[in-house]
Every structure is written in structure tokens, then in C-alpha cells.
Structure 1
Amino acid sequence: MTAPTPGYAPVPAEQRTNVLAIVSLVISILGFNVIAIILGAIALSQIKKTGEKGRGLALAGIIIGAVSIVLVIIIIIVSVAVVASSGTVTN
């Protein structure tokens, strides 16, 4: 009688990447920053519960969205200040 052959180890299931994390990153690059921040936060919550991959993508979407909003606010403030200071002064 021959010894039984050892069985193959089961192949671990490939971890999926959270779809909302991907969407958050893409949307932030396209300039829809508030939506990207919201989707990134939802993705982080889902990733924590499900163990999916994509935490870095969700964080990148949030960070790019937030930095873009801050830059737009700074540009608006600077533009308003330049326009306000360039008024003609008559004596």
C-alpha cells in the first residue's frame, strides 16, 4: 500500500479593493473634491469593517480633495485682495 499523497493547500482568496476607495481617488483627481472626501470617508469605514484593500486609495482621495479645497480658498482670498488693492486712488 502506498502512503496517501498530501493535499494541496487551499489557495487564499484574493483580497478585493474597495470600490469606493478607487472612486474617491478618481473623483478627487477630476476635481469633485467634496464628493471625494465623503466617498473616501465611507470607504475607510467599509474597509475597517470588511478588511478589504484600498485604505491608501481612500486616504489619497480625502487628502487630494481637502488640499484642493484649501488651495481654491487661498486663490479666492488672494484674488479678492489683489482686486481690492488695485482700485484707483484719486487725490
Structure 2
Amino acid sequence: MSTQPPDGSQPPSYNQPPGYNQPPPAQPGYPAQPGYPAYSAAPPPTPQYMAPPPSSPGRTMGIVAFILSFFVSLVGLILGIVALVQSRRAGQKNGFALAAIIISSVAIVIGVIVGIVIAIGIGAAAAEYARLCAEYGSGVHDINGVTVTLQCPSN
């Protein structure tokens, strides 16, 4: 049984696909019209589009610096400064970078103060322990109504 279109015309014949290691058949071109260049049947290659440049340089880094300023203050401070410099060079403002610099700076100052207070407290406790060891020596002692066990280093 053959299938023919209802209008009686012959169905189009199909070409055999090229075998392996054979170049594909040449594509027919369109004839050039006067004043226009000739076009081939193959479509032009698709242009590769690049992502547009960031609208605000340093903005993403400023947001990252802002978040890090609460957890890792030194890293937040450094990234905040870099982000602010990038934004200023582009002539734009970056509130996140500025906030990261301020928060990181305050956190670092507070951390240094707390560290100094802790070091002074540990030093005072060590000095008091050394005084008690020199006065009472090793053993269990009743000092001002409190039972204290001292283990002093041997001299």
C-alpha cells in the first residue's frame, strides 16, 4: 500500500544520511541580490552573551562583610574596607560596607577590652593563689571560714 497525498502529487524523497567519516552535504545558498550579500541556508552562530557587570561594585562584598562583622570581626573589617573602596571608586555609596566597618571596629575594641580584663583577672587570681601557697603551703586549710585545698608546686 502506498501513501500518496490526496492531490495526486508524489511524496518528497528523502536523502540517505551521510555515513560515518563522510562530510555532510553542502547546504544550498541563496543567490545574492544586487546590493545585498549572499546568505547561506545555515543560521548564523548564536552569540554568547555575558552577564552584565554588577550595577554597584563592592555591594555584594559589603553585604558579606556586614554579615561577617558579627561573627569574625577582623575579616568583616577587612572586607568592609575593600568593598567601600571599590564603591567609592565607582562613585557610589555602600551602606552595608560602612556598617560592617563600624560594627567590626566596635566589636574589635570591645574584644580587646574584654581580653585585657580577663588577663588582669587571671593574673590577680594567680597572684592570690601564689600568696596563699606561700602563707599556708599544700594541704586542706580553713581560710576565713572557707575550706580550701591547696596544691602548691614544690620549691
Structure with more helix by fraction: 1
Tell me the TM-score normalized by structure 2: 0.43
* Separation (CA, whole Å) in 1 of partners of 2:88 and 2:69: 21
| Greater shift in the superposed pair: 40-49 or 81-90 | 81-90
Larger proportion of strand: 2
**TM-aligned CA deviation for residue 16 of structure 1:** 4.5
2:123 is equivalent to residue 72 of structure 1: no
Q: How does 1:72-91 map to 2 (within 5 A)?
A: 72-86=111-125, 87-88=128-129, 89-90=131-132, 91=135
Q: Say yes or no: does 1:25 pair with 2:49.
A: no
User: 2:121 & 2:85 partners in 1: Cα distance?
Assistant: 42
Rg comparison, structure with higher value: 2
Equivalent runs, 1:16-55 vs 2, <5 Å:
16=56, 18-29=59-70, 31-54=71-94
Where do 5+ consecutive residues of structure 2 fail to align? 1-54, 136-155
List structure 1 segments (4+ residues) > 3 angstroms apart after TM superposition: none
Following the alignment from structure 2 to structure 1, what is the Cα–Cα distance between the partners of residues 105 and 93?
22
Question: For 1:79 and 1:51, how far apart are their aligned partners in 2?
Answer: 44
Aligned residues: 75
Q: CA deviation at 1:58?
A: 0.6
Match of 1:63 among 99, 102, 110: 102
SS of residue paired to 2:81: helix
> 1:53 deviation in Å?
4.4
Secondary structure in 2 matching 1:51:
coil
In 1, distance between residues paired with 2:81 and 2:56? 18
* Percentage of pairs with the same residue: 32
